[in-house]
Amino acid sequence: MPSTYNFSAGPSVLPAEVLKQAQAEMLNWQNSGMSVMEMSHRGAEFMSIAAALHQDLRDLMSIPDNYKVLFLQGGATAQFSFIPTNILGNHTKACYINTGAWSEKAIKGAKTYCDVIVSASSESNNYSSIPARSEWVIDEQAAYLHYTPNETIHGIEFSDVPETSLPLVADMSSNILSKSVDVSKFGLIYAGAQKNMGPAGVTIVIVREDLLGRAQTGLPGVFNYQKQADQESMLNTPATYNWYLIGLVLQWLKAQGGVAAIEVINQRKAAALYAAIDQSSLYSNPVAVADRSRMNIPFILADKELDAVFLKEAKQQGFLALKGHRSFGGMRASIYNAMPESGVNALIQFMAEFERTH
């Protein structure tokens, strides 16, 4: 058992095996005489790392051939602006579903470039559920429909992919690779790497080819999906070491049995933690049961005075980064792919013991 469990929302825990392999290969990658950090991105060694990275992601997500996969910089936040500037084309409007803090940020980012139609919002109930599909108002003239499949702060997750005739755009930053998704249902998927894929510094964009070639004139090449796709995301020097680390995480995931296998474990971890919260009288989670996230689980203590004590004792016992987001308060346990089931079970035991003694 590790001496600590890291429940950080992101950057977050990485598989111990990956960190050990990176450590072992740090100074001399596979007898190349170089660290991956020191390699030319155009050299044969790094090109082999890049090729494996692309292939492993395609394999793990079963990405169809008519999609390009880009590994960019600037975080998901940069994509809030680069999505409209790349794929609006001649359209002037885009539809957004607002289910929490990250949807709000995506909406704000797009507003500079187009008329944003908020097709549905759960702001009025404090983002504790996903608005019913029957209430969504979709403008068929819009360029795309954007949603956030998992709200990292509010702990809300879509259990299925919305049906729409518009190209569907999804910010999968906090649940990519945690469960099987049918990529062909999407126009564009994007995600910052720092939760389920590796360290911060790389943003993945998976884009259907028919949405390319529509960028606003004047958009710098490094931000232009078509130009980056033409250059295999190497229009300029990529974040080479981060690509390598993501590659190790993807290999680790394959060794676990892939996305379908980790999905089963993720469901079990989340179900156990929610059950513990629901049956306690100290902890509670405000999210509608059907819309609860399997990745980020916020919970409130009935007595706010106990927050600091809880965090202090948790830390002493090796449970790290449980403090809730400042806009939400309370606690949040982020239990991404790399959080072992033993970590969740140990947290549940700690929580029960804390409730008993306080």
How far apart are CB 254 and ligand PMP at their closest, in Å?
Answer: 24
> Catalytic one among 56, 102, 243, 291?
102
> Catalytic one among 68, 179, 195, 269?
195
How far apart are CB 152 and ligand PMP at their closest, in Å?
Answer: 3
Please write down the HEC assignment for all residues of 312-336: HHHHHCCEECCECCCCCCCEEEECC
| Of residues 8 and 228, the one with the C-beta less far from ligand PMP | 8
How far apart are CB 124 and ligand PMP at their closest, in Å?
Answer: 21
x/- contact string, 48-77, with ligand PMP (CB under 6 A)? ---------------------------xxx
| Of residues 85 and 148, the one with the C-beta less far from ligand PMP | 148
How far apart are CB 162 and ligand PMP at their closest, in Å?
Answer: 16
Provide the b/e sequence for 334-343 (b: ≥16 CB within 10 Å): bbbbbbbeeb
Q: Over the Cα atoms of the chain, what is R_g?
A: 21
Q: How is the chain split among helix, strand and coil, in percent rounded to 5?
A: 40, 15, 40
Instruction: Indicate whether 171 belongs to the interface with ligand PMP (CB under 6 A).
Output: yes
How far apart are CB 78 and ligand PMP at their closest, in Å?
Answer: 7
- Burial environment of residue 217 by CB neighbours within 10 A (0 to 12, 13 to 18, 19 or more): exposed
Structure token digits, residue 32: 């190349």
| Of residues 95 and 282, the one with the C-beta less far from ligand PMP | 95
Structure token digits, residue 157: 């997750």
Instruction: Indicate whether 285 belongs to the interface with ligand PMP (CB under 6 A).
Output: no
Contact by Cβ (8 Å): 192, 200: yes
| Of residues 56 and 104, the one with the C-beta less far from ligand PMP | 104
Residue 195 is among the residues annotated as catalytic for this protein = yes
Which residue is at the shortest CB distance from ligand PMP?
75
Q: What's the CA gap between 67 and 25, in Å, rounded?
A: 32
Q: Could you say which DSSP state residue 161 is in?
A: P
Instruction: Indicate whether 148 belongs to the interface with ligand PMP (CB under 6 A).
Output: yes
| Of residues 198 and 350, the one with the C-beta less far from ligand PMP | 198
| Of residues 150 and 251, the one with the C-beta less far from ligand PMP | 150
Q: Identify any residues that bridge with 202 across adjacent strands, giving them in sequence order.
A: none
Question: Amino acid letter at 100?
Answer: G
Residue 171 is among the residues annotated as catalytic for this protein = yes
> Catalytic one among 29, 56, 171, 291?
171
Q: What's the CA gap between 99 and 292, in Å, rounded?
A: 12
Of 81, 174, 233, 240, the one binding ligand PMP (CB under 6 A) is 174
Q: How many CB atoms lie within 10 A of CB 182?
A: 10
Instruction: Indicate whether 242 belongs to the interface with ligand PMP (CB under 6 A).
Output: no
- Region near ligand PMP per CB under 6 A, out of 43-51, 133-141, 167-175, 279-287: 167-175
Instruction: Indicate whether 152 belongs to the interface with ligand PMP (CB under 6 A).
Output: yes
Question: By CB under 6 A, what part of segment 83-102 binds ligand PMP?
Answer: 102
Q: What's the CA gap between 157 and 291, in Å, rounded?
A: 5
Cα-Cα end-to-end distance for the chain: 26
Contact by Cβ (8 Å): 292, 271: no
Provide the b/e sequence for 232-267 (b: ≥16 CB within 10 Å): bbbbeebbbbbbbbbbbbbbbbeeeebbeebbebbe
Q: Give me the residues that bind ligand PMP (CB under 6 A), please.
A: 10, 75-77, 102, 148, 152, 171, 173-174, 192
Residue numbers annotated as active site:
102, 171, 195
